[in-house]
Each structure stands twice: as structure tokens, then as C-alpha cells.
Amino acid sequence: MVAIAKLEDCPKITIQECGEPLIAIPLEKFAVTTPHPYEKLGANYGGRSPYYLRQGVLKALIAAQSKLQEDYSGWQIEIFDAYRPVEVQQFMVDYTFASVVRDRRLNLQKLSAQQRQSIWEQVYKFWAVPSLDPRTPPPHSTGAAVDITLVDHRGETLDMGSEIDEISPRSHSNYYANSKTKERRQYHARRELLHQIMRKAGFRRNPGEWWHFSLGDRMWAWLCNRENPANNAIARYGRF
């Protein structure tokens, strides 16, 4: 099993907020998941839009889209989620907890302390803690993280081998890396295509989530430093 990148287990990453604004994503340039998946579930963005990113992050995402279309005419990056207030992070953490309870056919009111602990551990393998501490913001609350996949020239969303937000080992970025079957090798190839397009634009991918990319937040800085400890990268985007 691939280890999941969780900032809670990482050395402290300093944030030096650069003050860049959140900018609306020009949705006409991308494919977009509609209606927005979390708003559809009832998440309240408080009048804000999930389709926003920090100015520099958006510029890099547009560059990634341009590079993709140079190599694969008619293809698009599909945006699943971008900016996410901490309140929405809390909503989705609670929703996911309830979903795991339901999937396990358990009674929420009769959970033992051990069962609750086990479920929370599973949830937090894939969801950042909805922290209000300015030193430890959830990645999406900074406007520097985006969840994406790929759409081909026929307008079809590619099968990546797991759904976005799927709580399963299949969601680990390299889950299919050593697969023997053609179908599973294709899943890995598609994930790597997305990875390389985004990496060339400056993003880093969460090893535990093939769809999650960030640039300039704590996750990004930690991953850069893990690649090259001499970098001593710091985050430039805090909670917005």
C-alpha cells in the first residue's frame, strides 16, 4: 500500500502569505463538473464560488491546459473542485463520516468509541482536518489546490481507475503502477499524463489522491522539500 501524504505527519511548513487575490476560473477554458458536487450535496459556500483559485495558481493551471492541448488536440482538464472554505471542508468531513457509517451498515447512534475512532481514521486518510488554525489551513481553503481529471477530444471524462474522493487504496496515485493487465496499465498511464502536465506547470500531486494538485500551499512546499531537502521551500498561500 502506498503511504498517503498527510500534512499532519509532516514537519512544520512556514507560511509567508503573499497576498494574491482569489480569481474566478474562466470556466469556458476548461471542462467543469456540474452541478458542483459539494453544492449538490448541500454544502454552503456562503455566497462564495468554488470555482476560484489564487491568481498565480490559476495562471499555472491555464498553462497546463495549453500544454495538454498542444499534445492532445481537443482534450481538456476537467475541474471537479477548487476553492473550499473551511466550513465546506467541515461539511464534507462530516458527510464522509456519515457515508462510511452507512456503507458499513452501522447505526450512527450506537457506534462504540472504537468504531468511531476507526471511521475517523479512515476519513482523515483522504480529507484534511478542517482546521481554523492559520498555521495549518486545509489545502483547498488557501485557493492553491485543485481537484481535476481529464476529458478527451470526444468530450468523455477518462476512467482513471477510481472516482474522485473515493475512500479506497485505488485512489492512491501509483496504485496501478505495477499492474499487469492492459486496462489497469491504462489507468496508470492516464494518471501519469495528468501528473506530468500539471508538474510541468509547477504543481505537485498528493501521492494519496491522484486528482489533487497544489501550488504554493503547505502540501506543495512539503512535497518540493521531500524531493530536494536543499530547497527549503515555504508556503506562500495561507487560508483565504
Query: Structurally, how many domains does the chain consist of?
Result: 1
C-alpha cell at 94: 462530516
Residues 199, 127: Cα–Cα separation, whole Å:
22
pLDDT of amino acid 20: 97
Look at residue 33 and tell me if it is in a domain. Answer: yes
Name the strands in the sheet holding 76-81, side by side, starting at the edge strand that comes first in the sequence. Answer: 31-32, 76-81, 145-151, 212-214, 204-205
C-alpha cell at 3: 503511504
Look at residue 147 and tell me if it is in a domain. Answer: yes
Flag whether the pTM goes above 0.95: no
pLDDT of amino acid 57: 98
- Show the domain range for 175: 7-37+51-83+131-227
Residues 120, 116: Cα–Cα separation, whole Å:
6
Residues 185, 30: Cα–Cα separation, whole Å:
26
Look at residue 107 and tell me if it is in a domain. Answer: no
Which residues in the chain come in under a pLDDT of 70? 1-11
pLDDT of amino acid 4: 43
CATH for 217:
3.30.1380.10
Look at residue 233 and tell me if it is in a domain. Answer: no
Name the one residue in this structure whose C-alpha cell is 464522509: 96
**pLDDT, tens digit, for every residue of 210-221?**
999 999 999 999
What torsion, rounded to 10 degrees, do the Cα atoms 150, 153, 158, 164 define? 30
pLDDT of amino acid 11: 55
pLDDT of amino acid 142: 97
Active-site hit among 8, 28, 192, 209: 209
Known catalytic residue at 209: yes
Look at residue 44 and tell me if it is in a domain. Answer: no
pLDDT of amino acid 126: 84
Look at residue 177 and tell me if it is in a domain. Answer: yes
Name the one residue in this structure whose C-alpha cell is 485512489: 171
Contacts of 221 (CB under 8 A, 6+ apart): 13, 233, 234, 235
Look at residue 26 and tell me if it is in a domain. Answer: yes
